Amino acid sequence: MWIELGHFALVLALFVAAGQAFFGLVGAAKQRLDWLPLVRASVLVQTLLTLFAGATLINAFVRNDFSVGYVADHSNSMLPMFYRVAALWGAHEGSLLLWITILALWTVAVRARMHRLPPLFAARVLGVLGLISVGFLLFTLTTSNPFLRLLPPAVDGADLNPLLQDFALAVHPPILYTGYVGFSVTFAFACAALLEGRRDHVWARWMRPWTVMSWAFLSCGIALGSWWAYYELGWGGYWFWDPVENASFMPWLTGTALIHSLAVTDKRGLFKSWTLLLAIGAFSLSLIGTFLVRSGVLVSVHSFAADPARGIFILAFLVVLIGGALALYAWRAPLLQSEAGFALLSRESFLLFNNILLVVATLVVLGGTLAPLIAETLRLGTLSVGPPYFGPAFMVPMLPALVLLGVGFHASWKRGGLQVTSRMLGVVAGVAVLLSVAILLAGYGSRKPLAYVGSALALWIIGSSLIQPIQSLRRGLRMPASVVGMTVAHIGVGLFVLGATLVESASIERDVAMKTGVSVELGGYTYRYTGGEAIEGPNYDGFRAHVTVSRGTRTVAVLAPEKRRYWVTNSVMTEAGIGAAWNRDLFVALGEDVGDGAWSLRLQYRPLIRFIWLGALIMALGGIITLRDERYRRGAQA
**Binding flag, residue 288, another protein (CB under 8 A):** yes
Q: What is the DSSP letter of 161?
A: -
CB 66 within 8 A of CB 157: yes
**Binding flag, residue 598, another protein (CB under 8 A):** no
Q: Which of 296, 469, 537, 579 binds another protein (CB under 8 A)?
A: 296
Q: Which of 112, 148, 330, 396 binds another protein (CB under 8 A)?
A: 330
Query: Which residues does residue 593 pair with via DSSP β-bridges, in sequence order?
Result: 599
With respect to another protein, which residue has the nearer C-beta, 148 or 438? Answer: 148
With respect to another protein, which residue has the nearer C-beta, 206 or 313? Answer: 313
* Contact window for another protein (CB under 8 A) among 29-37, 139-147, 216-224, 290-298: 290-298
CB 57 within 8 A of CB 146: yes
With respect to another protein, which residue has the nearer C-beta, 80 or 323? Answer: 323
CB 499 within 8 A of CB 493: no
**Binding flag, residue 233, another protein (CB under 8 A):** no
Query: Which residues does residue 513 pair with via DSSP β-bridges, in sequence order?
Result: 600
* Residue type present at position 370: L
**Binding flag, residue 191, another protein (CB under 8 A):** no
* Residue type present at position 4: E
H-run or E-run covering 130: helix 119-143
With respect to another protein, which residue has the nearer C-beta, 151 or 442? Answer: 151
What is d(CA 588, CA 235) in angstroms, rounded to the nearest whole number? 9
With respect to another protein, which residue has the nearer C-beta, 164 or 502? Answer: 164
With respect to another protein, which residue has the nearer C-beta, 159 or 245? Answer: 159
**Binding flag, residue 449, another protein (CB under 8 A):** no
With respect to another protein, which residue has the nearer C-beta, 158 or 343? Answer: 158
Q: Which of 319, 437, 441, 638 binds another protein (CB under 8 A)?
A: 319
Residue 330 CB partners (closer than 8 Å, separation 6+):
none
Residue 236 CB partners (closer than 8 Å, separation 6+):
230, 509, 576, 587, 589, 602, 604, 606
Q: Which of 122, 298, 351, 451 binds another protein (CB under 8 A)?
A: 298
CB 96 within 8 A of CB 139: yes
With respect to another protein, which residue has the nearer C-beta, 296 or 387? Answer: 296
Nearest to 64 by CA among 78, 47, 52, 53: 78
* Contact window for another protein (CB under 8 A) among 161-169, 283-291, 443-451, 605-613: 283-291
Q: Which of 37, 308, 392, 538 binds another protein (CB under 8 A)?
A: 308
C-alpha gyration radius of the chain: 26
Nearest to 46 by CA among 71, 68, 70, 23: 23
**Binding flag, residue 334, another protein (CB under 8 A):** yes
CB 87 within 8 A of CB 160: yes
Side-by-side strand order, sheet with 584-595? 508-514, 598-607, 584-595, 577-581
Q: Which of 112, 148, 320, 373 binds another protein (CB under 8 A)?
A: 373
Report, in Å, the least distance between residue 298 CB and another protein: 8
Report, in Å, the least distance between residue 306 CB and another protein: 4
* Contact window for another protein (CB under 8 A) among 212-220, 329-337, 354-362, 401-409: 329-337
With respect to another protein, which residue has the nearer C-beta, 329 or 605? Answer: 329
The distance of Cα 495 from the centroid of its chain, to the nearest Å, equals: 18
HSE, CB side, 13 Å, CA atoms: give it for residue 543. Answer: 15
**Binding flag, residue 594, another protein (CB under 8 A):** no
Crossing angle of helices 324-332 and 167-196, rounded to 10°: 40
**Within 158-187, which residues bind another protein (CB under 8 A)?**
158
Q: Is 111 helix (H, G, I), strand (E, B) or coil?
A: helix
**Binding flag, residue 333, another protein (CB under 8 A):** yes
With respect to another protein, which residue has the nearer C-beta, 212 or 277? Answer: 277
* Contact window for another protein (CB under 8 A) among 89-97, 123-131, 182-190, 317-325: 317-325
SS3 content of the chain, % helix, strand, coil (to 5): 65, 15, 20
With respect to another protein, which residue has the nearer C-beta, 295 or 468? Answer: 295
Report, in Å, the least distance between residue 385 CB and another protein: 14
Applying CB under 8 A, the site for another protein has a residue count of: 43
What is d(CA 93, CA 89) in angstroms, rounded to the nearest whole number? 8
In terms of Cβ atoms closer than 10 Å to its own Cβ (0-12, 13-18, 19+), residue 473 is exposed
CB 569 within 8 A of CB 159: yes
What is d(CA 269, CA 462) in angstroms, rounded to the nearest whole number? 29
With respect to another protein, which residue has the nearer C-beta, 195 or 223? Answer: 195
**Binding flag, residue 48, another protein (CB under 8 A):** no
Q: Which of 33, 301, 320, 374 binds another protein (CB under 8 A)?
A: 374
Report, in Å, the least distance between residue 334 CB and another protein: 6
**Binding flag, residue 600, another protein (CB under 8 A):** no
What is d(CA 463, CA 483) in angstroms, rounded to the nearest whole number? 15
With respect to another protein, which residue has the nearer C-beta, 38 or 78? Answer: 78
CB 592 within 8 A of CB 512: no
With respect to another protein, which residue has the nearer C-beta, 322 or 398? Answer: 322
In total, the chain counts a number of residues equal to 638
Report, in Å, the least distance between residue 271 CB and another protein: 14
Crossing angle of helices 2-29 and 167-196, rounded to 10°: 20
Q: Which of 34, 81, 341, 377 binds another protein (CB under 8 A)?
A: 377
Q: Which of 37, 197, 237, 323 binds another protein (CB under 8 A)?
A: 323
**Within 243-282, which residues bind another protein (CB under 8 A)?**
273, 277, 280-281
Report, in Å, the least distance between residue 490 CB and another protein: 29
**Binding flag, residue 197, another protein (CB under 8 A):** no
DSSP assignment of 348-414 equals HHHHHHHHHHHHHHHHHHHHHHHHHHHHHHTT-------HHHHHHHHHHHHHHHHHHHHHHTTBPST
What is d(CA 105, CA 113) in angstroms, rounded to the nearest whole number? 13
* Contact window for another protein (CB under 8 A) among 506-514, 567-575, 582-590, 608-616: 567-575
Report, in Å, the least distance between residue 320 CB and another protein: 11
**Within 121-160, which residues bind another protein (CB under 8 A)?**
154-158
In terms of Cβ atoms closer than 10 Å to its own Cβ (0-12, 13-18, 19+), residue 339 is exposed
H-run or E-run covering 626: helix 610-626
Report, in Å, the least distance between residue 614 CB and another protein: 35
Nearest to 573 by CA among 593, 589, 559: 589
Report, in Å, the least distance between residue 308 CB and another protein: 5
Q: Which of 62, 318, 433, 435 binds another protein (CB under 8 A)?
A: 318
CB 136 within 8 A of CB 177: no
Residues of this chain that interact with another protein (CB under 8 A) are: 154-158, 273, 277, 280-281, 284, 288, 291, 295-299, 306-308, 311-312, 315, 318-319, 322-323, 326-327, 329-330, 333-334, 370, 373-374, 376-377, 567-571
